[in-house]
Amino acid sequence: MKDLLTAAALALTATAALSSGTRAEVVDAQANGFEVRRTAVLNAPADKVYAALAQPSQWWSKDHTWSGSAANLSLAPMAGGCFCEKLPNGGSILHMTVVYAQPGQGLRLFGGLGPLQMSGAAGHLGWTLTEKDGKTTLTQTYDAGGYMKGGLDKIAPIVDRVLGEQFDRLTAYVETGKAP
């Protein structure tokens, strides 16, 4: 029942996001990799959007953490920086490593999110920011490739949905100061 309610809530969130100008798609999906993309125009300058990217503890869903708390997430927005999570009893997770950081323009990370950490696959999560007239077009892409039993194309729609939820939470945080 909880899964059914979660799926319904995600569908409503996605419908609301799409009606507000967010574009989402699985660009490509094959057994050895996939690409998902989201784009939205935010009523905020690029510097504000970039600053928010570096605060995943404020907008990432606790439901998509290993610790059960988004407060345990951190992201150091500089080359070599860590998108990490603290675990109980002194444990930790390196989700991704920052490979490009340009304030107000873009942020790119490399590594494995979720189930990709337990496979021979890795991904590239990138955000590109373009500001015009005080508004920022934010594009999020996630490309994954490598080996995963059963094929990466099978999980592309799931990854799209999960990253779409994070994207929607990020955009809400930027525009309202709160993630849903």
What span, in angstroms and rounded, lies between the C-alpha atoms of 83 and 61? 15
What span, in angstroms and rounded, lies between the C-alpha atoms of 170 and 112? 20
The number of beta carbons lying within 10 Å of the beta carbon of residue 142 is: 23
Is residue 25 very low, low, confident or very high in pLDDT (cuts 50, 70, 90)?
Answer: confident
| 5-14, 56-65, 90-99, 130-139: least confidently modelled range | 5-14
Assign domain 2-176 to a CATH class: alpha beta
Instruction: Give the residue extent of every domain in the chain.
Output: 2-176
Percent of the chain whose predicted confidence (pLDDT) is above 70: 87
Q: Can you give the pLDDT at residue 15?
A: 35
Structure tokens given for 1: 């029942």
What span, in angstroms and rounded, lies between the C-alpha atoms of 13 and 169? 10
Residue 80, class by beta-carbon neighbours within 10 Å (0-12 exposed, 13-18 middle, 19+ buried)? exposed
pLDDT digits (tens, 9 = 90+) for 59-116: 999 999 999 999 999 999 999 999 999 999 999 999 999 999 999 999 999 999 988 9
Mean pLDDT computed over 139-156: 96
Mean pLDDT computed over 5-25: 43
The number of beta carbons lying within 10 Å of the beta carbon of residue 25 is: 12
User: Which is nearest to 100 in space by CA: 131, 74, 122, 128?
Assistant: 128
Higher pLDDT, 11 or 162: 162
Higher pLDDT, 110 or 19: 110
Percent of the chain whose predicted confidence (pLDDT) is above 90: 84
The pTM score is 0.85
